[in-house]
């Protein structure tokens, strides 16, 4: 099953994000090289183009497994994210899917 993970940053996390960026990117690269858990990831931005969170789509056996995977991210350990939502997601249509999936 797929899950959309939406992480909203605590206030004033710019310095913490910069400090932990390389470790976070290493975590992402490791995920991409290890298995097919990570389907999509990237920063969420506000109207001023400032990063305010993260969005991920992951493949996991359960929401708990998706959370466990996320909790290994250095950004989680650094306390950057104030709110985390994990919701079931069914990829159904789009260019990234190569069209439709029904």
Domain ranges (residues) in the chain: 2-92
Going by pLDDT thresholds of 50, 70 and 90, the confidence category of residue 93 is: very high
Q: What is the pLDDT of residues 35-85, one digit of tens each?
A: 999 999 999 999 999 999 999 999 999 999 999 999 999 999 999 999 999
Return the pLDDT at 96: 86
How many Å apart are CA 17 and CA 78, to the nearest integer? Answer: 9
Return the pLDDT at 79: 96
* CATH level 2 (architecture), domain 2-92: 2-Layer Sandwich (3.30)
- Mean confidence (pLDDT) of the chain: 95
Query: Cα separations (Å) of 62 from 10, 32, 43, 55, 57?
Result: 26, 19, 23, 18, 13
**pTM, rounded to two decimals:** 0.91
Return the pLDDT at 101: 85
How many Å apart are CA 1 and CA 83, to the nearest integer? Answer: 22
């Amino acid at each position: 099953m797929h899950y959309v993970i939406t992480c909203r940053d605590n206030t004033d996390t710019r310095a913490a994000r910069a400090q932990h960026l390389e470790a976070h990117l290493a975590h992402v690269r490791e995920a991409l090289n290890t298995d097919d858990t990570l389907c999509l990831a990237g920063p969420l931005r506000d109207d001023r183009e400032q990063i305010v969170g993260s969005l991920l789509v992951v493949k996991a056996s359960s929401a708990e497994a998706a959370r466990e995977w996320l909790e290994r991210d250095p950004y989680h350990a650094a306390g950057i994210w104030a709110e985390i939502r994990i919701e079931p997601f069914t990829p159904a249509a789009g260019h990234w899917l190569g069209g439709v999936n029904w």
